[in-house]
A and B are shown apart, each in its own frame.
Chain A
Amino acid sequence: RDKYRYFACLLRERFDKNKDVKDMVKATELLKAGEEEFWANQHPQPYIFPDSPGGTSYERYECYKIPEWCLDFWHPSEKAMYPDYFAKREQWKKLQRESWEKELKQLEEETPADGPRTEALPPARKEGHLPPLWWQYVTRPREIPM
């Protein structure tokens, strides 16, 4: 790993040396050559962690993740196994219904005209409002379902 850092710093220095070249054509050519060399030195089979996209166990448990509205279909005997959750559930759902319009309005106001630029969601701006699309996060399934 230390050897990689060394060579990366060398390459960076070569890039920086040519930073002051004003001639646009030559600068573009240099950039292209530099990018090609960078690409040629990339690892052919980069190591990917199992849970990251492209890894061996990415999305492995997608088929077991069921959405949260299925909880409404549980039998009362099953619901009795988690009394504290289901006691509060109706209140949470009412809260979600109330704040949905406000979240949508905030998102519509805050996204630029030609579509959103990033995937990041804005926080709640006003007092008493909830951050947009909070229900998706709060009720997301486990990473490795039971």
Chain B
Amino acid sequence: METTLLLNTSVILTLTIILTPILFPLLSKNTQNSPTIITRTVKTAFLTSLVPMTLFMYSGMESIVSSWDWKFIMNFKIPISLKMDQYTLMFFPIALFVTWSILQFASWYMASEPYITKFFYYLLMFLIAMLTLTIANNLFLLFIGWEGVGIMSFLLIGWWQGRAEANTAALQAVLYNRIGDIGLILSMAWLASTMNTWEMQQALTPVQTPTLPLLGLILAATGKSAQFGLHPWLPAAMEGPTPVSALLHSSTMVVAGIFLLIRTHPLFSNNQTALTMCLCLGALSTLFAATCATTQNDIKKIIAFSTSSQLGLMMVTIGLNLPQLAFLHISTHAFFKAMLFLCSGSIIHSLNGEQDIRKMGGLQKMLPTTTTCFTIGNLALMGTPFLAGFYSKDLIIESMNTSYLNTWALILTLLATALTATYTLRMTLLVQTGFTRMTAITPMNENDQMITNPITRLALGSIMAGLLITSFIPPTKTPPMTMPTLTKTAAIIVTVLGIILALELSNMTQTLTQPKQTPLMNFSSSLGYFNPLSHRLSSTNLLNSGQKIASHLIDLSWYKKMGPEGIADLQLMATKTSTTLHSGLIKTYLGSFALSILIILSTH
């Protein structure tokens, strides 16, 4: 049966369906958009994208569609070519499912906003850019999608423009992404100059690539996916409304960097330096984010740091040369992270804007659906057996244990896994159980289907997704099957240790009287001092050097030292040294000149 046509048309149909809410109001004056229309569009697109996914699952078919070359030099063509391989075909339904749930949730959450349609437009445009990024077959189209998600992230984080912190957070996001873009452009330039193309098929031949372009790609992923060096924008991005956090900064945008590395992984597979760098960077960012998350008090920040931590874990997987596993972790992570954000959004709205977990508690009786889904999401995050996290996270840790690599990275990652369990449990305990610490009058209800449907759908997804994906997609590299029992259960043991630690700490804090400021807690609370250090140091240095250049270099040096005063200084110096040498008896000198001239004149 000729299924290539079906595959191609269904994918292009999906993309077109998503574009319709933007195009139709431009074409005819009568059709107006509303949030429900956009939600329904995305739902249709999701159902359409299930077709190519099932096709792929049953026949392993991939395809590439190319059209319309843009020739700007004679032998360098940039076609608009769309690659539908395993990663794209799996990612589309997942992204569309998550987006559909989020849009449905957002129509309840943002119901009091005057410009809600504009908000939905922004979310839709973000989705389009993200899908362009995933479906791109050449780096040019990927770059278009990359920049697109950056811009939409800026617009969405700064949705409430009146708020000063939202604006600074949006600016942070854009700047850090830009620094990452430098790396991407560097590697694109290198690829264009050596391979003379930007197509993935031609460019990704697994020969020995020099480390520089790979460093560029790693820099791009660091910027986009908030690894350790360029990470402050992700917690700051929680200034945006909760649906924004759920869509961008949990499931889709932050995986764009990892996705880039997955796409270009043949370039990496031979270069051990780059792989080791990925590994160490990922391990460091996992541990750092997990440390910071343990002392945060804002739910959204805790979940943001857990995203950052999981991204570090994905980077570690790429460093282990296992791109498929990284993609699996992306897919499963999307489900439960989006669900966690939606649950937190429901909790925040129910408490009338309260985001601090020190003021929540005892929500289990009052918001049963939300809290059960919250618990499921947290269990999945911790990697409980047989929920979604287990399939990806455990495999990562097993592979890491059984490969002959860095022990240091291994220890860091295990420690980070324990900390994951700690802060997740802390969050769950403080939010759901115990005595109520909320304000007395709260508009709390879960009656609206708009909330419960998306959350339960995503809960179902996070339970089933791991199982489904691993059953249907055979991995290209054989996972390690035989290992000592300790290694196999390492992840679970570490998680249990983390749980015990969390319970101990919570018992201690019940009886402690004064919150002491130990250096460790200071480190963790102020995000490892990174934010103030880097932001203030770099800007003060820059401004100081700018001031020095302006005043000292230009004014002092050029106008004074090079010109008159410099010459005067030189003169002074010369004269001062030579003053001591001679005795200034001018009359004697003049007399001797006159005498010698007279003698010479008289003798001739």
Contacts and interface: CB of A to CB of B under 8 A. Distances in A.
A63 B389 CA distance: 40
A59 B514 contact: no
Given A60-B162, A146-B114, A47 B517 contact: no
Contact of A56 (B112, B353, B514, B526): B353
A62 B162 contact: yes
Contact of B297 (A40, A45, A51, A61): A45
A56 B355 contact: yes
Contact of A50 (B297, B355, B358, B517): B355
Interface string B298-315: 100000000000000000
Interface string B158-184: 001111100000000000000000000
A40 B514 CA distance: 11
Given A43-B515, A45-B295, A47-B356, A59 B114 contact: no
Contacts of B515: 43-44
A135 B297 CA distance: 41
A142 interface: no
Interface residues on B, range: 20 to 34
Interface in A108-146: 144-146
A57 interface: yes
B525 interface: yes
B298 A63 contact: no
Contacts of A60: 160, 162-163
B488 interface: no
B521 A44 contact: yes
A88 interface: no
Interface in A28-77: 40-45, 47-48, 50-51, 56-65
Contact of A51 (B112, B160, B353, B525): B353
Q: How many A residues are at the interface, by size bracket?
A: 20 to 34
Contacts of A41: 514, 517
A119 B112 CA distance: 33
Nearest to A3: B513
Given A60-B160, A61-B162, A63-B161, A50 B353 contact: yes
A50 B358 CA distance: 13
A40 to B, nearest CB: 6
Nearest to B512: A3
Nearest to A58: B163
A62 to B, nearest CB: 2
Nearest to A40: B517
A48 B165 CA distance: 15
A65 B114 CA distance: 11
Contacts of A82: none
A144 B162 CA distance: 13
Interface string B408-437: 000000000000000000000000000000
Contacts of A65: 162
A47 to B, nearest CB: 6
Most buried by A among B359, B515, B526: B515
Contacts of A48: 356
A59 B525 contact: no
B85 interface: no
Given A47-B359, A62-B162, 10 more contacts: A7-B514, A45-B297, A45-B525, A47-B358, A56-B353, A57-B353, A60-B163, A61-B162, A62-B160, A62-B161
13 contacts: A44-B295, A44-B515, A44-B517, A44-B525, A47-B297, A47-B359, A56-B353, A57-B353, A58-B163, A60-B160, A62-B160, A62-B162, A65-B162
Interface of A: 3, 7, 40-45, 47-48, 50-51, 56-65, 144-146
